[in-house]
Amino acid sequence: MQDGNRVKSPFNGKKFTKETLVYLLLAFWALINLFPVYWMFTFSLKSNNEIFGENVIGLPKEWLWSNYSKALQVGNIGRYFLNSVIIAVVTIALVMAVALMATFALTRFMWKGRKMMNDFFMLGLTIPIHASIVPIYVTLSKLHMLSTYSSLIIPYAAFSLAMAILICTGFMQEIPIELDEAACIDGCGTWRIFFKIIVPLMKPAVATVSIYTFLQCWNELMFANIFVSDKAHKTLPVGVQALSGQYLTEWGPVGAAMVLATFPMLVFYIFFSKKIQDSFIAGAVKG
């Protein structure tokens, strides 16, 4: 349903007022969603005097970019940003590799228990992340792996796996089996079919899974807070939280850190909103 005008209330006389009301409602809710972001952006550029009285919600009178340099230097936000990127990228790569292989076995191979194995993986969709916190923490500390990138990458990958397999299954089932047959006739083995035929055709799935996984790791707080305690490996959410503790009475730099943590995502969202929304829909609706 592309055109917006097709379905309208048949009560033509009332149409104007009713539609106006609907749009007022929609605009009101949009305002509630936009205001915090607007406010965050403006106070990230203000001094305490402006935030605390002179100019609570207006645009900054004096644009205080020094808040940003404070967030980067004192708050170490640049480093945390990099850490978050590294962790997200490695997690995505790991999840993709593991999920593609597992999905290949689940959709192409003939073996008893295929469906059961699939159900087993799908259980992962309902297991809360909390379930594993104590055992993972204890294990990581025994292995002296706390405060490393892997202490977050491995759990993040494991918890994104079920969704990745779910999404990949949908896409892989749509790749015609005739392609495998043709490759077979050419003398390819399973591994070559996998790498030459299947993986290149899974690009849309890679995009969907990557977006989903990225958002999961980018925003995760509980594991990041507990498994990593040294400055060199902390992630962005933990860094923002720590900075707010440090700058309780000066809001500007905290706002700056929050903007730095949020805006790259929002810019990306502006360009790829459909794709990002689809990855959430794919995840939920098929589950």
Name residues contacting another protein, limited to 61-90 (CB under 8 A): none
Binding flag, residue 240, another protein (CB under 8 A): yes
Segment (H or E) for 209 = helix 203-219
| CA dist 14 → 4, 19, 23 (Å) | 19, 8, 14
Least Å from the CB of residue 60 to another protein: 15
Binding flag, residue 92, another protein (CB under 8 A): no
Least Å from the CB of residue 52 to another protein: 5
Instruction: Indicate which single residue of 59, 74, 138, 232 sits in contact with another protein (rule: CB under 8 A).
Output: 138
Instruction: Indicate which single residue of 47, 67, 107, 216 sits in contact with another protein (rule: CB under 8 A).
Output: 107
Is residue 272 within 8 Å of 152, Cβ to Cβ?
no
Separation of alpha carbons 8 and 11, rounded Å: 9
Segment (H or E) for 26 = helix 12-43
Separation of alpha carbons 59 and 117, rounded Å: 56
Which CB atom, from 40 or from 201, has the smaller least distance to another protein?
Answer: 40
Instruction: Indicate which single residue of 73, 104, 146, 212 sits in contact with another protein (rule: CB under 8 A).
Output: 104
Contacts of 277 (CB under 8 A, 6+ apart): none
Binding flag, residue 267, another protein (CB under 8 A): no
Least Å from the CB of residue 190 to another protein: 5
Binding flag, residue 116, another protein (CB under 8 A): no
Supply φ then ψ for residue 17, to 5 degrees.
Answer: -65, -40
Buried b (16+ CB within 10 A) or exposed e, 49-83: ebbeeebeeeebeeebeebbebbbeebbbebbbeb
Least Å from the CB of residue 171 to another protein: 10
Site for another protein in 140-169 (CB under 8 A): 154-155, 157-159, 161-162, 165, 169
Binding flag, residue 253, another protein (CB under 8 A): no
Of 61-69, 75-83, 199-207, 218-226, the segment contacting another protein by CB under 8 A is 218-226
Of 75-83, 85-93, 120-128, 201-209, the segment contacting another protein by CB under 8 A is 120-128
Least Å from the CB of residue 79 to another protein: 16
Which CB atom, from 16 or from 111, has the smaller least distance to another protein?
Answer: 111
The count of residues interacting with another protein (CB under 8 A) is 113
Least Å from the CB of residue 48 to another protein: 9
Least Å from the CB of residue 15 to another protein: 11
CB neighbourhood size of 272 (10 A) = 14
Helices then strands, counting H and E runs in the chain, come out as 14, 0
Q: Left (φ > 0), alpha (ψ -120 to 50) or beta: where does 248 sit?
A: alpha
Which CB atom, from 45 or from 165, has the smaller least distance to another protein?
Answer: 165
Of 62-70, 74-82, 136-144, 202-210, the segment contacting another protein by CB under 8 A is 136-144
Separation of alpha carbons 282 and 280, rounded Å: 5
Binding flag, residue 16, another protein (CB under 8 A): no
DSSP state of 220: -
